[in-house]
Amino acid sequence: MIRYCLLQKGNSVNLNVFSEHFSSIEDTRQSAKITYPLFDVLFLTLCAVISGCQGWEDIEDFGEAKLHWLQKLGFFAEGVPVHDTIARIIARIEPTQLQRCFAQWMQAVAVLTDGQVVAIDGKTLCSSYNRTSRRSAIHMVSAFASANGVVLGQVKTEEKSNEITAIPELLDLLELKGCLVSIDAMGCQKDIAQKIVDKGADYMLAVKANQEKLHDAVQSVFTQHLLTQPESQGAIEQSRGRIEYREYHVLDSSLLPEYLSSQWCGIKTVGLAISYRMVKQKKSELEYRYFISSAELTAVRLASAVREHWGIENQLHWVLDVSMDEDNCQIYRGHAATNLASLRHMALNMLRAETSKALCSSYNHTSRRSAIHMVSAFASANGVV
């Protein structure tokens, strides 16, 4: 279950709720020289991203088109800044402050139910590499509430290998009590498992060769199990020339060697997901995936959790690339790319909270110019003005 109180019809303080969580971001400009308040520019950029704007000139055009609406809300008494000014202001915001405010905002407007899957995974912003210093593209690690389709928080890491250090930072931002946190093999680390349990949540971690002894032990346990008890939770799916069979097995962690199981905080079950895929004119694929968990999983629960984990790819990463064209965004100077990534997450959460079919479909099917006019209707429908 999730409830939204930021954009909720009939609530006259919705904008105040948003201001309460984001107005604390530090403005590093000299106060005497500020013409355009930081919060005004941040709100403008968020609304522009909701409408489908991707670059600084797009955001300026949106501001000019909706200036009367913005001023009605009390913003931009001096008019809308030019795109270079917008870019400089957004690029100067410290990303950790914006990410902390984002996580606090989501804690205030979202309530997660016990057992809900929170998937954690990373995504590279392919075009965000620094052309001047030749630094690599930005990599963002996000937490995603799969059942509700909303981002709960995110942090930046310079390289994918640093997800191991970024995940604990992300966990520190989140309220996860009662949730099942799923992470791929890179996050299968003892310290990460401990932190998840310390926050009152359960973990489900994929196990691969980066934890060689654990992987071999889990594999051995299931090899013996499949020889003697092949019954499982299975399903066949057929779609667009693809046939896929999946089955799931769960065993008690006590079957693992004690010296291994004792190293993983709260471990209770181990899981196996088997998939066999046949696609027309392609080679068939058979895959075995192993998991450890501090939850008392069943085969049915494992099947659901594995599918929900991939929601972060289908409902978040795919949407960011296809609908918001994130991978083609050429913005990279300062903290701009990181901050825009956070604002895209905010925009996506707001759009998914909106139930109007007309507004949601217009995001995907209208031109950017006509989409600009969507935001005022979106806000009016939800009581922001």
pLDDT in tens, 189-213: 999 999 999 999 999 999 999 999 9
Q: Grade residue 129 by pLDDT with cuts at 50, 70 and 90.
A: low
Q: How many distinct structural domains can be found in the chain? A: 2
Same domain for 155 and 303, yes or no, is yes
Residue 324 resides in a domain: no
Residue 328 resides in a domain: no
Alpha helix segments (H runs only) across 146-298? 163-173, 190-198, 212-228, 258-261
Higher pLDDT: 319 or 329? It is: 319
Same domain for 124 and 267, yes or no, is yes
pLDDT (tens digit, 9 = 90+) per residue, 205-263? 999 999 999 999 999 999 999 988 766 667 787 776 778 889 999 999 999 999 999 99
User: Final residue of a domain: which of 283, 317, 351?
Assistant: 317
Residue 327 resides in a domain: no
Whether 360 shows a pLDDT value over 90: the answer reads no
Provide the pLDDT for residue 8. Answer: 41
Same domain for 241 and 370, yes or no, is no
**Domain range for 237:** 112-317
pLDDT (tens digit, 9 = 90+) per residue, 337-349? 899 999 999 999 8
Same domain for 128 and 178, yes or no, is yes
- Measured between alpha carbons, how far is residue 296 from residues 11, 207, 224, 253, 280 in Å? 41, 17, 21, 10, 38
Residue 251 resides in a domain: yes
Q: Grade residue 135 by pLDDT with cuts at 50, 70 and 90.
A: low
Same domain for 127 and 258, yes or no, is yes
Residue 106 resides in a domain: no
Provide the pLDDT for residue 76. Answer: 94
Residue 2 resides in a domain: no
Same domain for 173 and 59, yes or no, is no
pLDDT (tens digit, 9 = 90+) per residue, 9-37? 333 336 777 788 888 899 888 888 889 99
Residue entry with tokens 């949730």: 179
Averaged pLDDT score across all residues of the chain: 84
Same domain for 158 and 289, yes or no, is yes
Same domain for 133 and 55, yes or no, is no
Provide the pLDDT for residue 7. Answer: 42
Give the number of other Cβ atoms within 10 Å of residue 258's Cβ: 8
Provide the pLDDT for residue 231. Answer: 66
Higher pLDDT: 7 or 19? It is: 19
H or E segment and range at residue 344: helix 336-353
Provide the pLDDT for residue 385. Answer: 46
Same domain for 19 and 147, yes or no, is no
Same domain for 162 and 275, yes or no, is yes
Same domain for 142 and 284, yes or no, is yes
Arithmetic mean of pLDDT, 93-106: 92
Whether 277 shows a pLDDT value over 90: the answer reads no
Question: Which residue from 18, 78, 70 is spatially nearest to 44, judged by alpha carbons?
Answer: 70
User: Final residue of a domain: which of 317, 348, 372?
Assistant: 317
Provide the pLDDT for residue 367. Answer: 44
Question: What percent of the chain shows pLDDT beyond 70?
Answer: 83
Residue 160 resides in a domain: yes
Same domain for 255 and 141, yes or no, is yes
pTM reported for the whole predicted model: 0.85
Arithmetic mean of pLDDT, 142-158: 89
Residue 330 resides in a domain: no
Strand pairing class (180-183; 117-124): parallel
